[in-house]
Structures are given as C-alpha cells and as structure tokens.
Amino acid sequence: MAQSSVALRDVVKTFGAAPVIKGLSLTVEPGEFAVFVGPSGCGKSTLLRLIAGLETPTSGTVRISDRDVTHVHPSKRGIAMVFQSYALYPHMTVAQNMAFGLKIRGMTKTEANARVKRAADILQMDQLLDRKPRALSGGQRQRAAIGRAIVREPDVFLFDEPLSNLDAALRGQMRVELARLHAQLGTTMIYVTHDQVEAMTLANKIVVLNGGRIEQIGRPLDLYRRPANVFVAGFIGSPKMNFLDGKVSASGVGATTIALPDGPVALPFGDGRIKSGDVVKIGVRPEDFRLARDDAARAFEGRVVLVEPLGGETIAHIALDGGAETLVVKLSGEAYVAAGAPIRVAVEPQRIHLFDSDGVAVAPKEA
Amino acid sequence: MNARQSLQPLLRYGILIGVGFVMIYPLLWMIGGAFKPNSEIFSSIGFIPQSPTFDGLEKGWKTSTEYTFATYFANTFAIIIPKVIVTVISSVIVAFGFARFSVPGRRFLFGVLIATVLLPKSVLLIPQYLMFREFGWLDTFLPLYVPSAFATEGFFVFMIVQFMRSFPPDMEEAAMMDGCNSLQVLFYVVVPVILPAVISVALFQFMWSINDFLGPLIYLSSVENYPISLALKMSIDVTEATQWNQVLAMSTLALLPSLIVFFVAQRYFVEGISLGSVKG
Amino acid sequence: MYGNRSEGLAYLSPFLIGLVVFTLFPFVASLALSFTDYHLQDRLDSARFVGIDNYASLVDDRTFKQSLFVTLIYVFVTVPLKLAFALFIAYVLNFKLRAIGFFRTAYYLPSILGGSVAVAVVWRYVFAGDGLINQVLEGLGAGGVNWLGEPDTAMFTIMLLRLWQFGSAMVIFLAGLQAIPSDLYEAAKIDGAGAWRTFFRITLPILTPVVFFNFIMQVIQAFQEFNGPYIITGGGPLKSTYLLPLMIYEESFKYFDMGYASAISWVLFALTAVCAAAAFSSSRYWVFYAQDEAK
C-alpha cells in the first residue's frame, strides 16, 4: 500500500442554506494518523465524507497524493472507509463482504481470496470469515468492517467514529488494536471522533473542529500544553480546564499580572498585545493543582463541595471563597479531602494559561 | 372485580368464535358442496356430505364447453405470472428512483403516485379499451399485464419506498465505495435487504390479480382464452338447470391457489399491510 | 442520495411513461369522449362532438338516476357499517390471546377471497330460493325469503357481501391498536377511567389517522364495486342493485354507447373526488396525529 498525502484547500460545503464547512484548508502527511475531533455538528463527519467522495464540496479542492480528486468517484480515489454503523452487507458472510468490492472490480477469485486471507490474518479473525454479520458481536463486526477496508489495500483509510457503538471496555481494547494496525501497515489514516481520549491516544496530528472551522491543528501534546484558544483548551483534557474571569492589572513582555476576584495572580510571561484593563480569562487544568503548602505564593481558598474518589486519583469540586466560581481539582491517589471542609490549592504560575477577551491564547509558553 | 375480570375473556372469546363461525361457514359450505351430489345440496344445511362423491369435481372440471378447467387454469397462470414478475421488477426500480435519488420535482411526482392509488379506475376503462383495440391487443393477455410493467399500481411502489427509507444509506455508500454503480448497488445490496417487502408485493399482486374479473371480461372474447374467473361466471350462465355441485366444486378449486398462497405466506400479508398503512 | 439526476430519472422512467400512457392520456381522453356520440362499433375518428348532450341526457335518464341513488345508498351504508364492525372486532381481538393469529386469519381470509368470482357465485347460491340461508330459516321455523327476487333484499345481499370482507380493514385497525403504548392505558386506569371512557377519550383519538386512511380507501373501493352486483343479481331486480360501475359497463359493452358511458364514468369520478376531498378537508378537525412529522 502506498502512503498518500491528503490535502484540502479552501473547502466550503453548504447544505441548502446552511453552511457546514466554512472554508478550511489542511494537509495530512503520508503515513500520518490524523484525527478530526470536535463536538456534534462541528462538521467532522462531513469533512470525512468530502474526502471520501460521498459528498462534493460546494467550492474548494480535495487532493489525494497530489491528484485532484474533488470530482472523482469514491471508488476511484484509492481510499477505504470504515463506517460508524459498520455497514456490513447482512446477507453475505464476512468473507463475502470483504471480497465484494474486489469482485466488482473484476479481480479473480483466487486473488480476492488471498487478499481476504491476508487481512484476516492481520486482524486475527480467521474464525469469523464464514459467519454472517448477525452472528457477530459488536467488536467482531467492527473488525469485519476494518477487514473489508484492508483488502482494498487503499492509500488512505477513513474511519467514521468506528468505536462509538462499542462499550467502554471494548473501546479501550480496540483503540490499542487500531494503534497497532497503523504501526503495522503504515498507511495514512484519517479518523473522526467526538472522544478526545481516542484523539489523544491514536493521533499523530489532531485537527480540532468547531462550527465548520479549524480551531487548531497539532500534535496531541502540543494541543494539551499550548491550546490556541479557549475552545481547544476546554475541549482537550478531562476533566475540563478551569476558567476564571479576570482583568489585566499590569502587562509587559515576560510578565503579566491579572486581577482576580480574590486577589492578583502573577504570570511569568506576556506580550504587548494585551493592555491594562483588558478583560481576560485564566485557565488551569484540574491536574495542575496541588494542595497548597503553607508557604505557597498564591493559593486559592474555598470549601469542598463534592468529592469523587476514583482510587487512583481524587477529583474535588471546590467553591471558592468570595465568588461564584467553582474549581475542579484532580489530586493523585486517595487524597485526604472531605466534603464541606475548607481547602487551599495552588498551581505553579508557568502552568497557568492566559486567554484574551476573544478567547485567543496569549504568549503560549515555550515547550 | 374478579367476576368481571374473568367474564371479560369469556365474552371476547364468545364474540370472536361466534362471528368467526358465521364468517367461515359459507366457505366451509362451499367446500362441502363440492363433494355432495346435486340433490343433496338443496336439502341439507350441514357442510359435511352425507353421501360424498367426486361427481361434482369430475363433471365440473370437464365443463360443458369444449375446454376443461385445465385450460382455464393455464390461462389464469399465463396472465398472473408475467404480471407478478413485471410488477415486482418495475416497482423496485421505480421505488429506488424515488427513495434514493434527488430528482427535480420528486415530491410532486410522489404525490402524483399516491393520487393514482386513489384514482377510481372506472374513469380510465373506456379509453384504455379503445387504446388497446388500436394496438390490436384485444383477445390477448397483453392488456392485463403490460400496464403493470410500468409500475401503474402505485400502492406497491409506495410500500417499497417506505421500506427502503427505513434503512440508513450506509450499506449503499459502502457498496458505492466498493466500486458499484447504482444498478449494482440495487441488485447486490438493496434487493436482498428489502426482500420481505418484495415478497409482500408479489403476494399481494398475486391475490389481487387472480380475482380480476372486469379486465378479462372486457378484453377476452374467445372462450379458449378465458381464465378461471370468466369460466366460473360462464358456468352459472347456462340456461338449463345449473348443476350446483359442479359449480361449487369448481369454485373451491378456483379459490385453492389463493388459499394455499395465503396460508403459506400469512406473515407477509399482515406485515405488508401495516407497512403500507399504519406506518405510512 | 446518489445525486445524479439523470440516473434518477432513468429509474423513474417506467413510472413516468406508464403515467402518461395508461393514466393521464386515458383520463383526459375519457373526458373528451364524454362530449362525443362515439359508438363502439364505429371507427374512432367518426366520433362527433356533441357538447354537453350526454350530460344533459343523464339528467332525464331514469335508469341513471336510479343507478346513482342505489350507488349512494350502497356506499354510505356499507362504509360506516364495515368500519364500525372492523373496529369492533379489532378491539375485541386486541387482547393477549394465544389464538390471536388464528382469529385474525379467520377474519382476514374472506376479504382476500371476497372479491373473487368464486365467492360471488357461492353467495348467489347461498341466498337462492332454496339456498343455505333459507334452509336455515326454514329449519328455525321462519319462512324463506326471496332474497334475490325482491329489490330491498337483493341490495341487502350485495351489502352483506361487502361487509363480509371487513377483514382487511380489521387487520389495519388491529395494527393501529397494537401500536398504542400500553402505558397510556395504565395511566388511564390509575386516573380511574372506565372502559367506555378509555375507548372514546384515548383509543379512538389516537386511532383517527387509521380511521381516516381506512375511510378513504373504503369509500373509493365501494364506489367501484362491480363483481358482486354483476354476478349475483345482474343489477336487478328492477335495477335495484344497478350500481354505477355496472351501468358504465353495460352502456359501453352492451349498448356500445361509449360517449354516454364516458359521461357516466366522469360523474362517478366527480362524485368520488368530492367525497374524498370532503374527507380530506374535514380531517383537519377530527384527525389527530401523535407525531407531527411532516415527511
């Protein structure tokens, strides 16, 4: 299987009067595992279907391996797709499902069967070949759907939320298998999901989408450490990042002071973009908080409202003194926190994120 | 409270059995009459023959014409089988067009389709007859099944469209990506999946057509082309005393195909109706 | 879904061709014919335009008026009765009976066979002077009735044949009844509603779409009834069962007056259309759709 790049240029897609994709461009490098992630309705599935050829862009181009395929039939783009509902043909066995596309193309029976066997070996599903879809479990059906994609030996694999119909345990297992598959085949893969855990664990490159536009593209840890805006910051990471509203009280390159309801916070970074008096948001991830030591420079004080003891970690919801704000804090292990008790937490200033009044990140920290 | 509760089922069963019996009795009586000698028919109300005989069946089969019922049965099937086949093929093709393609004016045309189901056919009768006369198709079976090749029975198209729409298009998209053109998708993927609806259509058309009387009446003039419906009517037209046991015998035989098909495929009838109406 | 418009049209083409050739063209042609004096035995192009003469003759035609009258009686008596009976039986049947399938079959079967010549023939015999019904009556001590010989009773036998076929409407009602979630009945029971009130306030309103559907179908079919009257009574006695479809048939194929017959068929069509339109426009007031999806 060749490795192909996929490039979208200025793609717009409107359904009737509603614009779903509002003009975006992106490139997926050969061999990359790219994940399109975003909330429902952000257009990620539509984008995938545009790459597949099941929809045609209203304007813009789609290129695969530098060939303009914008108006090329799906079966001639060198792609294979795994559908969310698996879309297996119910009246055919798994082997027949897999061989179907090959036979339509005129491949001989022997060659088709050989390919089916190879794919079955990769996925370890030999024993499923003679069964019909209704005799398979969810995970097995999914494997059959992937098998059907593999036999085509495509240049690009497309996955449309393939794990969303599986239960949590199976999902975890299949995630590992998909990562292994990518390592083994090396083919370019484009994967759509609303689950940011899947995105973080599988992707070489994540594309965060919102309302038909790209919010940020980058490697998983880049998106985690340096989110470009409030949306990405809140979308990546679970539990969600805490946001507190504040005002700039002093601004300069290399240092900024933000006034929060309960006192000032000094940040060791800044740029000339924001000015004194600007309304801003600061963001802190739950896992960046620690129980404050007595000598902590800047602590947040409040009362514990709810404790979620997960064993390996403890999540505490804290109502801050003097404000309507609630912080969600993730502490490691079985932390000693009790509901109703007062609590002090602190965070290292470098780990605080700053967003201007438009939600854009300010001076993202150096890696 | 308890008395009323145990009375209810009893009441229901009572009504159901009573009405059911009255309903079925004419049919039972007809079957019984087929095996009675002519004299017994008018003398007893029981449906079990006192002196059973095959006389009615034998003489009825031979009929008083130069053809036996074998000819008439053959004619019936020569009409129905092509009719069912072309109905199924054209209905599936047209339904596919309605269900999966964005054709300009689709909604309007679908409305027209439904309107043709409601259209009283008597208003089309005379011009259709004259048209077939101009074609030279009188006294042939063509006028009886050619129109069905053009999906003129909108009800069937409607039923299949509803069934198709109940499936998400994923499978068809997968087939498209496998390289199928629309006809291949229809044949390899869609038809196998909608098979229950297709069978319902075939069964309904079979039942409706086998009872068709007016069509054969106006188009077929030679006795040798008569289907069972006309032959039966002919048997009670005779001016001398009607041999009722023969008539009943042949009536029973005439209903036999419908009865067999119905009992074998009951499920499809009931499902087919609910498909077309309650969910429609 | 497949986007390609010309492909879609190709798939629809049989329907489009059939629509024009077998429906639209005859539809318009029959209207045109009704304004001519065309007779079957003549060449087609010898038809002369006679304006509304045919329709004018209908007004004075006693046979036509009789036919119209009995047709209306037939439709407006059998349809409500058939629907009511079908609903009643469906209601009785809607019960967790093990034998529900058996009964449903028993009632549905007549409606499949009922339109056939065979059943009409049997019916004629069942109501004959020394037929089954009279035998039963004599056995009970009552006198025999000349069913097919007297105008009133002849119409009764034809109507009975139609009512006998209530099974198809019943199956549809049954499906409709079974689609009503049992939670509603349980809520009603907790609210203290009795059987009658539950039926009229809950069951019937939810069933109105099904009632409407059945009503339209039955009315249209009733206006088209041909087999029964033709085979059982031949339209008599004294034209008491001479339904309009029969008259159309005889005028065309017995008296060969196709222009006149076309006019009658258009009157029948207009009548059916008016009834259907009335039903449709009134449906706004009494049909209640649970899900308001305008598909």
Residue contact B97–C3, C-beta within 8 A: no
* Torsion sign across C-alpha atoms A33, A37, A43, A45: positive
Residues in chain A with CB shorter than 8 Å from the CB of B174 are: 81, 83, 87-89, 148
The DSSP bridge pattern shows strands A242-252 and A213-218 to be: unpaired
- Residue C2's pLDDT band (cuts 50, 70, 90): low
CA distance B190 to chain C (A): 14
Return the number of CB contacts < 8 Å for A and B.
57
Task: Report, as an integer, the average pLDDT of B86-113.
Answer: 93
Q: ω before B216 within 30° of 0 (cis)?
A: no
Taking CA–CA distances from A80, the nearest residue in chain B reads: B177
Least-confidence region, from B30-44, B130-144, C33-47: B30-44
C125: helix, coil or strand?
helix
CB contact, 8 Å: C8 with chain B? yes
pLDDT tens digits along B162-202:
999 988 899 999 999 888 888 999 999 999 999 989 998 99
Q: What is the pLDDT of residue C273?
A: 92
HSE-up (13 A, CA, CB side) for residue A350: 4
Selected residues 84-113 of chain C with any CB under 8 Å from a CB in chain B = 89, 92-93, 95, 97, 101, 103-110, 112-113
Q: What is the pLDDT of residue A189?
A: 95
Task: Report, as an integer, the average pLDDT of C234-263.
Answer: 90
pLDDT tens digits along A6-23:
999 999 999 888 899 999
CA distance B181 to chain A (A): 10
pLDDT tens digits along A26-59:
999 999 999 999 998 899 999 999 999 998 999 9
Q: Is the pLDDT of residue A367 over 60?
A: no
How big is chain C by its Cα radius of gyration, in Å? 23
Q: Is the pLDDT of residue A229 over 50?
A: yes
C145: part of which helix (H) or strand (E)?
none
How far is the C-alpha of B75 from the C-alpha of C13, rounded, in Å? 30
Taking residue A234's Cβ as centre, other Cβ atoms within 10 Å add up to 15
- Residue B273's pLDDT band (cuts 50, 70, 90): low
Residue with tokens 């092509």: B82
Taking CA–CA distances from A153, the nearest residue in chain B reads: B178
Taking CA–CA distances from B212, the nearest residue in chain C reads: C116
**Structure tokens of A22?**
């509002």
Pair B226, B72: CB distance under 8 Å: yes
Q: What is residue C116's DSSP assignment?
A: S
Cross-chain CB nearest to C11 (options B93, B211, B262): B93
Task: Report, as an integer, the average pLDDT of A62-70.
Answer: 92
The DSSP bridge pattern shows strands A18-28 and A33-37 to be: unpaired
Q: Which of B193, C267, B253 minimizes the C-alpha distance to B245?
A: B253
Pair B179, A104: CB distance under 8 Å: yes
Q: Is the pLDDT of residue B129 over 70?
A: yes
Q: What is the pLDDT of residue C23?
A: 94
pLDDT tens digits along A310-349:
888 999 999 988 777 889 999 988 888 888 888 889 988 8
ipTM over 0.90: no
Task: Report, as an integer, the average pLDDT of C132-156.
Answer: 82
Q: What is the pLDDT of residue B56?
A: 73
State the angle between helix axes of B266-276 and B154-165 in degrees (0 to 180), rounded to the nearest 10: 90
Least-confidence region, from A151-155, A184-188, B49-53, B135-139: B49-53
Task: Report, as an integer, the average pLDDT of B39-59.
Answer: 73
Q: Is the pLDDT of residue C46 over 80?
A: no
Strand partners, A19: A14
- Selected for mutation to probe chain A from B102, B166, B177, B194 (highest A CB count within 10 Å) is B177
Task: Report, as an integer, the average pLDDT of A145-174.
Answer: 91
CB contact, 8 Å: C124 with chain B? yes
Q: What is the pLDDT of residue C290?
A: 59
Residues in chain B with CB shorter than 8 Å from the CB of A52 are: 177
Q: Is the pLDDT of residue C255 over 50?
A: yes
- Selected for mutation to probe chain B from C12, C75, C269 (highest B CB count within 10 Å) is C12
A202: helix, coil or strand?
helix
pLDDT tens digits along A189-212:
999 999 888 999 999 999 999 999
B67: part of which helix (H) or strand (E)?
none
Task: Report, as an integer, the average pLDDT of B40-67.
Answer: 74
Q: Is the pLDDT of residue B279 over 50?
A: no
Q: Is the pLDDT of residue A1 over 50?
A: yes
C136: helix, coil or strand?
helix
Residue contact B193–A90, C-beta within 8 A: yes
**Structure tokens of B16?**
């159901």
Q: Is the pLDDT of residue A98 over 90?
A: yes
Sequence-ordered list of residues with C-beta below 8 angstroms from that of B114, at least 6 positions apart, any chain: B154, B158
Residue contact B116–C23, C-beta within 8 A: yes
Residue contact A105–B177, C-beta within 8 A: no
The sheet with strand A313-320 has its strands ordered as A290-291, A342-346, A299-309, A313-320, A326-332
How big is chain B by its Cα radius of gyration, in Å? 24
Sequence-ordered list of residues with C-beta below 8 angstroms from that of B6, at least 6 positions apart, any chain: none
**Structure tokens of B153?**
């029975």
pLDDT tens digits along C211-231:
998 999 999 999 999 998 999
Q: Is the pLDDT of residue A235 over 80?
A: yes
CA distance C111 to chain B (A): 10
Residues in chain C with CB shorter than 8 Å from the CB of B211 are: 113, 115-117, 227
A301: part of which helix (H) or strand (E)?
strand A299-309
Q: What is residue C19's DSSP assignment?
A: I
- Residue B58's pLDDT band (cuts 50, 70, 90): confident
Q: What is the pLDDT of residue A269?
A: 83
Q: Is the pLDDT of residue B4 over 60?
A: no
Percent of chain C surpassing pLDDT 90? 36
- Chain mean position to CA B155: 13
Q: What is the pLDDT of residue B62?
A: 77
User: CA distances (Å), A235 to each of A209, A317, B168, C169, C196, in order?
Assistant: 10, 19, 30, 56, 57
A143: part of which helix (H) or strand (E)?
helix A138-151
**Structure tokens of A170?**
């199976």
Q: What is the pLDDT of residue A324?
A: 74
Q: Is the pLDDT of residue B40 over 90?
A: no
Residues in chain B with CB shorter than 8 Å from the CB of C270 are: none
Please state, rounded to an integer, the average pLDDT across all residues of chain B: 85
Q: What is the pLDDT of residue C294?
A: 37
Q: What is the pLDDT of residue C69?
A: 94
Q: Is the pLDDT of residue B117 over 70?
A: yes
Cross-chain CB nearest to A87 (options B173, B180, B184): B173
Q: Alpha-carbon dihedral of residues C263, C265, C271, C276, nearest 10 degrees? A: -140
Q: What is the pLDDT of residue C292?
A: 45
**Structure tokens of A322?**
């003097």
How far is the C-alpha of A243 from the C-alpha of A227, rounded, in Å? 13
Pair A345, A318: CB distance under 8 Å: yes
- Residue C260's pLDDT band (cuts 50, 70, 90): very high
Q: What is residue A286's DSSP assignment?
A: G
Residue contact B126–C265, C-beta within 8 A: yes
Q: What is the pLDDT of residue B45?
A: 67
- Residue A75's pLDDT band (cuts 50, 70, 90): confident
CB contact, 8 Å: B182 with chain A? no
CB contact, 8 Å: A91 with chain B? yes
Taking residue B237's Cβ as centre, other Cβ atoms within 10 Å add up to 9
Q: Is the pLDDT of residue B1 over 60?
A: no
Cross-chain CB nearest to B177 (options A74, A90, A91): A74
Q: Report the phi/psi class of residue A206: left, alpha or beta, with left for phi > 0 and alpha for psi in -120 to 50.
A: beta
pLDDT tens digits along C112-136:
888 888 898 888 888 887 777 887 7
Residues in chain A with CB shorter than 8 Å from the CB of B168 are: 85
Task: Report, as an integer, the average pLDDT of A76-85.
Answer: 91
CB contact, 8 Å: A100 with chain B? yes
Residue contact B192–A91, C-beta within 8 A: yes
How far is the C-alpha of B157 from the C-alpha of B110, rounded, in Å? 10
Cross-chain CB nearest to B96 (options C11, C21, C249): C11
Residue with tokens 């036509």: C64
